Chain A
Amino acid sequence: DTAVSQTPKYLVTQMGNDKSIKCEQNLGHDTMYWYKQDSKKFLKIMFSYNNKELIINETVPNRFSPKSPDKAHLNLHINSLELGDSAVYFCASSQDTAGTGRAFFGQGTRLTVV
């Protein structure tokens, strides 16, 4: 039973489109995250939500907007996609806001913008 699941796993889209990546965790965790992994494998946090409340919002373009309808879901919506948005996006969750508990990651969504 998958702990953190992301859909879709692969996403190919044209520049200018709007797309969403969904994330769900069935662990009962309070905190969820979105990370972006660039072509050099560097992982950088984008957002963090705790109990549906935005906690961390790193410097990402306004085109990226997280949506947390409930504690178990944190979706990532991207408007007006650009070539530079091509990357692998990871969703994660952890029990506490400090991230000190074990963080579970999804399998990632490979976004390709053409």
Chain B
Amino acid sequence: AQSVTQPDIHITVSEGASLELRCNYSYGATPYLFWYVQSPGQGLQLLLKYFSGDTLVQGIKGFEAEFKRSQSSFNLRKPSVHWSDAAEYFCAVVPPRGYQKVTFGTGTKLQVIP
């Protein structure tokens, strides 16, 4: 069964600092990979996704993520964090075939301090 691990429950960074949120997955083949953001009181918004091809994907709001097959990882990065980035971030995977369901990680809560 597929699974997603986000090892960091809570991360605090200073505004303007760089950010990396970790995501590791477990699946027999390379799944489709996603990062979602959930702002307080908001629904989930898709930041970026990886299906195939270039392993470095660009998303909205200045985020990017790099797929590393050897490490089964799909870490999310941002070079300079803004206060408005404070939110909960979820990594998710979808197997590449058939009727699929999205499996989410447990989330990483990002706090941004001035």
Interface on A for B, CB 8 Å cutoff? 4, 33, 40-45, 48, 50, 55-56, 58, 90, 92, 97-100, 102-103, 105-108
For the complex of A and B, 8 pairs with smallest distance between CB atoms: A43-B104, A105-B44, A105-B43, A107-B43, A41-B107, A45-B101, A99-B100, A55-B99
Interface on B for A, CB 8 Å cutoff? 32, 34, 36, 41-46, 49, 51, 88, 90, 94, 96-104, 106-107, 109
- The total of Cβ contacts below 8 Å across the A-B interface reads 60
A97-B100 contact given A41-B106, A42-B107, CB 8 Å threshold:
yes
- Within the complex, which residue of A4, A48, A97 is in contact with B43, where a contact is CB–CB below 8 Å? A4
Q: How far is the CA of A47 from the CA of B54 in the complex (A)?
A: 32
Q: How far is the CA of A44 from the CA of B101 in the complex (A)?
A: 9
- Are B46 and A102 in contact, CB atoms less than 8 angstroms apart? yes
Q: How far is the CA of A45 from the CA of B49 in the complex (A)?
A: 19
- Are B102 and A90 in contact, CB atoms less than 8 angstroms apart? no
- Are A100 and B104 in contact, CB atoms less than 8 angstroms apart? no
- Are A90 and B44 in contact, CB atoms less than 8 angstroms apart? yes
- Are A100 and B51 in contact, CB atoms less than 8 angstroms apart? yes
A56-B101 contact given A103-B46, A107-B42, CB 8 Å threshold:
yes
- Are A100 and B106 in contact, CB atoms less than 8 angstroms apart? no
Closest to A45 in B: B101
Residues from chain A with a CB closer than 8 A to the CB of B98 are 98
Q: How far is the CA of A44 from the CA of B107 in the complex (A)?
A: 12
27 contacts across the A-B interface (CB closer than 8 A) = A33-B101, A41-B88, A41-B106, A41-B107, A41-B109, A43-B44, A43-B104, A44-B104, A45-B101, A50-B99, A55-B99, A56-B99, A90-B43, A97-B99, A98-B94, A98-B96, A98-B98, A98-B99, A99-B94, A99-B101, A99-B102, A100-B32, A100-B100, A102-B46, A103-B46, A105-B43, A107-B42
